[in-house]
Structure formats: structure tokens, C-alpha cells
Amino acid sequence: MTAAATPAVERPEGFQRVVRALAERGHPHAPRWLEVSARTSQEAADALGVAVGQIAKSVVFRRLADDRAVLVVASGDRRVDEARVAAQVGALGRADAAFVKARTGFSIGGVAPLAHAEPPLTLIDRTLFRFDEIWAAAGHPNGVFRLSPQQLVELTGAPVADVVQEVAG
């Protein structure tokens, strides 16, 4: 495994912000700094030695009505269904890298489910609950942290929803 618990003082600001937010909330697992970038769910799963579905990927949309960021935290082996998300939060548009950075304070590939620059409207993918342990981005493409799906709900206060495409079979 290429992950190591790392003090936040020598890491980028986004990572440090997540370290602080998790500590303030009493989360039992400090973020880890990976020696390799984990911008995709597959890269993160490979680095951690876990199933791709255990990666809680962050997908950001732009709500058209008010330009608010909509964060969907979904299982890494599923594709977010934009129509299902829009049915719950309103019409959506694509969020480019500049929008994601401005609204969340994180770059694409490292968007954490908490500690955002502006609180997004967040939805949690129900299929994450297939796993006892999941991993989420910790504010940087090299940062991750371990948690359970229930801890994700508690940390974010977000509702659990059906927001991914159906899997055939």
C-alpha cells in the first residue's frame, strides 16, 4: 500500500482544511497522503488496495436556477445519473474546473465531501451502503480518508438518494 498517515503542516491548504474539519468533528481516521495521484476512482482504489466501488467519488454540478454547486458523492463503480439528480435539486449544468475550485475550494480530483469554500447542496449515493468501509478525497488528488457510509451522512448532513444509473443484470 502506498498510503501513509501524514501531518498536515507540510501539505497543501485543501488537504489541511480537511484534516482540521475531520479533527473538529472527532472523526477517528486522519487523512492519508498517497505517494501517487488518485484523481480517478480506479487510481484511488489501486493505491489503497480496495474495490473501485469503495471510492466515494465527488461529482460537482452547477444548479442553473441559482448557480449553486451541487455535490454528488457516489460509489466509484457507478455513473451519476444527471436526470435523477436534477429531479431532486432542479435543472443542472456542467461545472468546469474554475467553477469547482471557486465554489468548493478544491481542484477536480480532490474534492472532499466536507470543508468547502461555500457549502454545496450535497446528495449521497445509496449504493455506497453496500460497503462497510469507503474512502473519500481529502482536499487534494493525493489525499484520502477512510470512513463508513453512515459517517459520511453524519459528517455532511446530506440526504441519501438514488442518484446513479441502474446497473444491468
Phi, psi of 147 (to 5 degrees): -165, 175
Q: How many CB atoms lie within 10 A of CB 108?
A: 18
What are the residue ranges spanned by the domains of the chain? Answer: 3-161
**Looking at the domain 3-161, which fold is it?**
YbaK protein (3.90.960)
What is the predicted pLDDT for the residue at 2? 44
**Any residues with CB less than 8 A from the CB of 166 and at least 6 apart, and which?**
none
Provide the pairing of β-strand 121-125 with 134-137: unpaired
**Block residue for cell numbers 475550485:** 101
Q: What is the separation of C-alpha 73 from the centre of its chain, rounded to a whole number of angstroms?
A: 5
Three-state secondary structure call for residue 33:
strand
End-to-end Cα distance, the chain: 33
What is the predicted pLDDT for the residue at 169? 64
Q: What angle do CA 96, 101, 104 make, to 5 degrees?
A: 115
Could you tell me the pTM of the whole model? Answer: 0.91
Q: What is the pLDDT along the chain (169 residues), one digit of tens a residue?
A: 444 554 444 789 999 999 999 999 999 999 999 998 888 999 999 999 999 999 999 999 999 999 999 999 999 999 999 999 999 999 999 999 999 999 999 999 999 999 999 999 999 999 999 999 999 999 999 999 999 999 999 999 999 999 999 887 6
Task: Pick the closest to residue 30 from 111, 113, 144 (CA basis).
Answer: 144
